[in-house]
Amino acid sequence: MSEIALGFGAYERTGNPTLVCKNLYAESVLTPSGSRLQLRARPGLASFKTVGSGQLRGIGFRDGLFDNSAIVVSGAAVYTLTAAGVLTALTGAVAGDDLVDIAFGQDADLNSVAYIASGGALYKVLNGLVTQDTSFPEAGASSVDFIAGNFVASASGTDKFYYLAPAAVSWEPLDFQSAEYAPDPLVAVRTRGDQLAMLGSSTFQVFALSGDGNNPFAPYGGLDDDFGCRARATAVNCVGTLMFVDSRCNVRRWDGGVPGIVSAPGLAKLIAEADSMDLVAWTFTIPGHRFYVLRLSQSSTWVYDLDGEGERWTTFESYGYDYWRANLGCNIGDVVLACDALAATVYRLDEDRRTDVSDPVITQGCALIEAAEVPQPIASLTMICDLGDAPRDGDGSDPKIQLRISRDTGKLFGAWKERPMGATGEYKTFPPV
């Protein structure tokens, strides 16, 4: 009996439809016949908290700060939110309606401090107050991060980044450096370990701590490249690995050396078709996996498993939409919070849940039999899957599996064929399709 491999990622641009997996990710499991890749359904979304009334513009968390609470920007309002669902409104506001950058650290008195860059200004969160930091020397800050006691913020529309030393209480006009490799404006500043990446519109340059208090950052030799960052919101530190969309619409992964391309030309073409301002990314972790979640406007959400095997790209989507409504998010320990793209709702991801609140999570896989130009007869197919794991009543208590086949490399598909997958306790009979 032949095995058919399920496909992931964007299929190459051959004129055929894009073959993808939806709402599935791969996990290696050991079976009696050896190691196999098992497809698992993505976590469902459970109702958690309504945060304010505006569009959710940003969420972030740093372990040990703000009493282990995340900071959430909803419209102009700012809140703290705990993993237990305790929501606290802060005094003050962040003007605008675009996505924001949030960085966490401490001041000289070990108070929790956060800076929020909105593009038009830089805001400080301290002791329950949100205020615009008018000491920032430029008209606006496009991005902000924190490294080794220093806050670092890029000045909007320039190649300059300013730094706030650990004991400093205000930003000084002379405490800046330029991304000197090229004069293109900085799109984002991002840290990874003890390195600081300057992502310009067309270049990439790395700095490191110099040990000189008067000039704390120095270029890290050999890590300058002629590609930039397409959008700040795509640049995400995924627990020690920086992921971002470059200026040529590739997705790159940076683990400390030269950032490598992890996307295929098919996905790059889809990214190019989306407006750069509509690209949004975030990261979350579950046991054994780190995910980079990239939404391409309203068209799709692509997810990269940093710890997966083989092809690591898949797609997530919500019922009735072409994309996943989990638009931004963060981990608070083992709890994953996700912000809705359309409402002021924060969800909690649940690995055992098969619905998004009350909407079903529909999974879909694609497989391609490489047969050149020789027709391959198929007498029957058997799908080996987890059976008997369904709700006892209500939605999902009578699960079905559907299959349709194309005999012309994906140009046209036949009708759907449907089979039952078994109610709770029916473990042994695999569905013939």
Q: What is the pLDDT of residues 26-51, one digit of tens each?
A: 888 777 777 777 888 999 999 999 99
**Residue 242 parent element (H or E):** strand 242-245
Alpha carbons 244 and 236: distance in angstroms, whole number:
6
Give the per-residue pLDDT at 310.
67
Does the pLDDT at position 23 exceed 70? Answer: yes
Report the predicted TM-score, pTM, of the whole model to 2 decimal places: 0.91
Tokens of 238: 């995924």
pLDDT in tens, 162-216: 999 888 999 999 999 998 888 899 999 999 989 999 999 999 999 998 888 778 8
Burial class (CB within 10 angstroms; exposed 0-12, middle 13-18, buried 19+) of 342: exposed
Computed over every residue of the chain, the mean pLDDT equals 89
Give the model confidence (pLDDT) of 67-126 as tens digits: 999 999 999 999 999 999 999 999 999 999 999 999 999 998 999 999 999 999 999 999
Residue 15 has pLDDT above 60, yes or no: no
CA 204 to chain centre: 21
CA–CA separation, 19 and 397 (whole Å): 29
Kindly report each contact of residues 251-255 with a partner whose C-beta sits within 8 Å and lies 24 or more positions away, as own/partner. Answer: 251/292, 251/294, 251/304, 252/227, 253/306, 254/192, 254/197, 255/192
Is the confidence at residue 14, as pLDDT, over 60? no
Per-residue confidence band for 16, with pLDDT thresholds at 50, 70 and 90: low
Amino acid at 339: C
Amino acid (one-letter) located at 288: G
Which whole number is the average pLDDT over 52-61? 96
What domains does the chain contain, in order, with CATH numbers? 44-360 (2.130.10.10)
The neighbouring-strand residues paired with 204 are: 199, 225
The rounded Cα 38 to chain-centroid distance in angstroms is 22
- Whether residue 379 has pLDDT greater than 60: yes
pLDDT at 11 over 60: no
Q: Which of 182-196, 202-216, 316-330, 370-384 has the lowest average pLDDT?
A: 370-384
pLDDT tens digit string along 244-263? 999 999 999 999 889 999 99
User: Can you give the pLDDT at residue 390?
Assistant: 64
Model confidence pLDDT, tens digit, residues 89-101: 999 999 999 999 9
Residues 130-153 have pLDDT tens digits of 999 999 999 999 999 999 999 999
Write out pLDDT tens, residues 277-310.
Answer: 999 999 999 999 999 999 999 999 999 999 977 6
Distance CA 27, CA 312 (A): 10
Q: What is the predicted pLDDT for the residue at 13?
A: 47
pLDDT at 94: 98
